[in-house]
Amino acid sequence: MTSMAEDKKQILELVKTYCNHYHKESEEYNEGDRIAYAGRVYDEEEMVNLVDSALDFWLTSGRYCNQFEKDFSRFLKVKHCLLTNSGSSSNLIAFMALTSPLLKDRQIKRGDEVITVAAGFPTTISPILQYGAVPVFVDVSIPTYNIDVNQLEAAVSEKTKAVMIAHTLGNPFNLKKVKNFCEKYNLWLIEDNCDALGSTYMYKGEERLTGTIGDIGTSSFYPPHHMTMGEGGAVYTNNALLYKIALSFRDWGRDCICPSGHDNFCGHRYDGQYGLLPQGYDHKYVYSHFGYNLKATEMQAAIGVAQLKKLDSFTERRRNNFNYLKDSLKDLEPYLILPEATENSNPSWFGFLITVKEGVSRNNLVQYIEKNNIQTRMLFAGNMIKHPCFDQLRELHSGYRVIGELKNTDHIMENTFWIGVSPKMNQQKLDFMSKVIHQYFVKREEC
């Protein structure tokens, strides 16, 4: 009769065999095959971890979640990390943490302002609006596609409490100037790092990973991102108070810090006095915030533990793919604006941004590329305030402010798209993408 450990070992060995037989993707590419802009990259290690966690059948957060938070903190060189169920949830937690009364005079209150950009993804700004704070939109610069730091002074007011912006498609924004601005006006800085995990920025003579320079950073582990858990995300900070608050918001708003499945972790479960509750009320059911349940599961974290070991190699491949595309498309600069890294940065690129110049139709170019089975994407919302979700706010002329005319934001909305540089790309795919884009302009000139 075998032991449980021996049975598990046998099962996991079979999982390796199954993964290598049925899940190993061919490196071979034939012209005409679909080229996705991104996707999951995994091997037997992720699948073994996934089945291992399933065999434990501990369905909420547990040993794999704890391991990932420790490993990810170590990778980022930050003190505190919280695993969440998505990058969007991470942005929600990061922002809501700044609304806590525990922050006293630095608490963001309804009606306070947060500087951000409209050229990006909606969940960078959704928490601001949903809470009742006021996003203040400034323009971006091309070809870095990040916040125009020259507009920061025009955006600040007596009500400004924070800056919340993303590193666009892996390209860091100007952290030196944004951080100096935040320090000048005593503002919080949230780095939405969901599209930039692995990117670095030279800050005060030290190469730092993006997401770790502001007060709080966020990541997403959705399949196209730099690493994946399927769904999943993280919030991280070096600030112990912000960590405590973020933990509360993630876990129902509770005051207790007991890990899932553990009681009386602090040893003071029944001897505290909280709010207007009776003396000694069970601390496990004391709520210091109006929170949520945004935890990840063990199965997600099990995949993440394996993925994190591969992140450096993923980053290297993204950079190599980006550089190859930029070199191969350089001769098309009379027609296209190619992306540039922000000064003092080394991006882990999420995609290769292209803006067409005057006289070139983005729609025609994109449709030609797509007809050749190459997946494209817009720069997310383009201009967020022109979407239907802003209709009522526009009609009311309230709820947000705009600095200037957002000319570059509108230009991106009308003329910009991107193609993939993910680790799934190989030389043949990169060459074919370049070939198709070149073909478009040859045919265009012939017409």
Grouping H, G, I as helix, E, B as strand and the rest as coil, residue 180 is helix
Active site annotation includes 80: no
- Token output for 123: 């969940």
Catalytic residue among 225, 283, 289, 411: 225
Q: Do residues 421 and 224 touch, judged by C-beta distance below 8 A?
A: no
Q: Do residues 222 and 256 touch, judged by C-beta distance below 8 A?
A: no
Give the amino acid at 427.
Answer: Q
Question: Pick from 360, 347, 349, 343: which is nearest to 416 by CA?
Answer: 360
User: Which 3-state string (H, E, C) describes 254-288?
Assistant: ECCCCCCCCCCCCCCCCCCCCCCCCCCCCHHHCEC
Grouping H, G, I as helix, E, B as strand and the rest as coil, residue 373 is coil
Q: Do residues 253 and 289 touch, judged by C-beta distance below 8 A?
A: yes
Task: Kindly calculate the radius of gyration of the chain based on its CA atoms and give it in whole angstroms.
Answer: 24
Q: What is the DSSP letter of 385?
A: G
Question: Pick from 289, 263, 261: which is nearest to 274 by CA?
Answer: 289
Which string of b and e fits 55-94 if b means at least 16 CB within 10 Å? eeebeebbebbebbbebbbebbebebbbbbbbbbbbbbbb
Query: In whole angstroms, how far apart are CA 136 and each of 108, 161, 239?
Result: 14, 11, 26
Torsion, CA 150, CA 326, CA 384, CA 423, rounded to 10: -120
Grouping H, G, I as helix, E, B as strand and the rest as coil, residue 34 is coil
Distance CA 27, CA 317 (A): 15
Grouping H, G, I as helix, E, B as strand and the rest as coil, residue 419 is strand
CA-angle at 396, arms to 394 and 399, nearest 5°: 75
- Token output for 155: 């955006």
Q: Do residues 363 and 184 touch, judged by C-beta distance below 8 A?
A: no
Distance CA 37, CA 53 (A): 30
Give the contacts of 434 (CB within 8 A, at least 6 positions apart): 325, 328, 329
Q: Which residues does the annotation mark as catalytic?
A: 225
